[in-house]
Amino acid sequence: MSDSPRFRPPILLALGAQLAALLLTWLVLLAAARLLGLHVSLLQAAIMQGALAALLGARLGLSRWWWPINLVFVPALVVLRDHSLPGWLPLAAFAALFLLNWNAFFEHVPLYLTGRAAERRLAERLAGLPANFRFVDLGCGLAGSLSRLAQAYPQARFVGVETAPLAFLIAWLRCLPRRNCRIFLRSLWRVDLARYEVVYCFLSPAPMPALWRKACVQMRPDALLISNSFAVPGVEPEERLVVDDWRQSQLLLWRPGVPRPDDPQASG
Instruction: Check if the beta carbon of residue 164 is closer than 8 Å to that of residue 110.
Output: no
Coil, strand or helix: which one is 45? helix
Q: Is residue 258 part of a domain?
A: yes
The residue range of the domain holding 190 is 116-267
Q: Is residue 111 part of a domain?
A: no
- Looking at the structure, do residues 258 and 149 belong to the same domain, yes or no? yes
- Tell me the C-alpha distance between 222 and 197, whole Å: 7
- Looking at the structure, do residues 255 and 207 belong to the same domain, yes or no? yes
- Looking at the structure, do residues 164 and 41 belong to the same domain, yes or no? no
- Looking at the structure, do residues 79 and 124 belong to the same domain, yes or no? no
- Looking at the structure, do residues 76 and 121 belong to the same domain, yes or no? no
- Looking at the structure, do residues 253 and 133 belong to the same domain, yes or no? yes
In CATH, what number is assigned to the domain containing residue 202? 3.40.50.150
- Looking at the structure, do residues 256 and 137 belong to the same domain, yes or no? yes
- Looking at the structure, do residues 137 and 50 belong to the same domain, yes or no? no
Q: Is residue 60 part of a domain?
A: yes
- Looking at the structure, do residues 203 and 249 belong to the same domain, yes or no? yes
Q: What's the Rg (C-alpha) of the chain?
A: 22
Q: Is residue 93 part of a domain?
A: no
Q: Is residue 75 part of a domain?
A: yes
Q: Is residue 32 part of a domain?
A: yes
- Looking at the structure, do residues 128 and 261 belong to the same domain, yes or no? yes
Helix ranges, 127-195 (H): 144-152, 165-175
The domain boundary residue, chosen from 68, 85, 102: 85
**Domains held by the chain: number:** 2
- Residue 259 neighbours by CB distance under 10 Å: 9
- The backbone region for 42, taken as left when phi is positive above 0, alpha when psi lies in -120 to 50, beta otherwise, is alpha
- Looking at the structure, do residues 81 and 120 belong to the same domain, yes or no? no
Helix ranges, 62-201 (H): 67-79, 88-100, 102-106, 116-126, 144-152, 165-175
Q: For the whole model, what pTM was predicted?
A: 0.67
What 8-state DSSP symbol labels residue 224?
E
Task: pLDDT tens for the chain, 268 residues: list them.
Answer: 334 444 456 667 778 888 899 999 999 998 888 888 888 888 888 899 989 988 988 888 776 667 787 888 788 777 766 666 665 566 566 666 666 665 555 555 566 778 899 999 999 999 999 999 999 999 998 999 999 999 999 999 999 999 888 889 999 999 999 999 999 999 999 999 999 999 999 988 888 999 999 999 999 999 999 999 999 999 999 999 999 887 778 999 999 998 776 665 555 5
- Residue 173 neighbours by CB distance under 10 Å: 12
Q: Is residue 110 part of a domain?
A: no
- Residue 87 neighbours by CB distance under 10 Å: 7
- Looking at the structure, do residues 204 and 134 belong to the same domain, yes or no? yes
